[in-house]
């Protein structure tokens, strides 16, 4: 699964369970591959290619100690001023990167991340992805009614507020805009439950592309 995310200037491509999650976060690139396990990482101009399999690998980067344990293990990482705790396949990966915290959950993987003020809680594959970006906070609220939908090869524009919308898609493109956040999604056979401000949107997909662009809050919740 490919889940590219853009968040204020930095790209952090991550591969989890065969899922690629490129993320842009304040001028830093951190490509990571977990489970099996190859973990090449570039932080502050520092390249850290790592191969881990249930083993602990303490590393020092930029005067920072990075003990790592993969596969049902803990991977605490500290890298220049910012903390990014991440859990992948039962593996905890707290990382410090440019004073920003970004909590995110992917495939049972917890990736808490915070980026410049705005919080965008999202649930993917039963994973919760609360994100703080660009001076706005979007609290996670799941209330209202349930709207189960089944679709095959078609586009579904949706506008929801305080509503739970479990959806099943197959070869469907789902562009979504929430609180100034654009989330175009292409779905084909895997489940991606997403929770965005008073709205729960579990989705079934396979080979998914999730591009998330965070911009300033201009309108109330709008899911298209």
Q: What is the mean pLDDT of the chain?
A: 35
Cα 49 to Cα 9, 39, 62, 71, 100, distances in angstroms: 23, 6, 15, 17, 23
- What's the confidence (pLDDT) of residue 137? 28
Q: Specify the pLDDT at position 19.
A: 41
pLDDT of amino acid 5: 32
Q: 52: buried, middle or exposed (CB in 10 Å: 19+, 13-18, 0-12)? A: buried
pTM of the model: 0.16
What percent of the chain stands above pLDDT 70? 0
Handedness of CA 97, 98, 103, 107 (dihedral sign): negative
């Amino acid at each position: 699964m490919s889940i590219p995310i853009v968040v204020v200037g930095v790209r952090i491509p991550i591969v989890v369970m065969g899922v690629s999650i490129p993320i842009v976060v304040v001028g830093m690139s951190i490509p990571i591959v977990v489970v099996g396990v190859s973990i090449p990482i570039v932080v502050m101009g520092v390249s850290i290619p790592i191969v881990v399999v249930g083993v602990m690998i303490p590393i020092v980067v930029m005067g920072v100690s990075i003990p790592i344990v993969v596969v049902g293990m803990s991977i605490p990482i500290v890298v220049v001023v910012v903390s990014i705790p991440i859990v992948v396949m039962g593996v905890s990966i707290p990382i410090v990167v440019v004073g920003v915290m970004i909590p995110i959950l992917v495939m049972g993987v917890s990736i808490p991340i915070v980026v410049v003020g705005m919080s965008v809680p999202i649930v993917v594959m039963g994973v919760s992805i609360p994100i703080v970006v660009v001076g706005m906070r979007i609290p996670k609220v799941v209330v209202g009614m349930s709207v189960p939908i089944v679709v095959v090869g078609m586009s579904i524009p949706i506008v929801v507020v305080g509503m739970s919308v479990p959806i099943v898609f197959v070869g469907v493109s789902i562009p979504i805009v929430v609180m100034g956040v654009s989330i175009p999604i292409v779905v084909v056979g895997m489940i991606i439950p997403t929770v965005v401000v008073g709205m729960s949107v579990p989705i079934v997909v396979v080979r998914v592309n999730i591009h998330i662009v965070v911009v300033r809050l201009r309108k109330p919740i709008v899911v298209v």
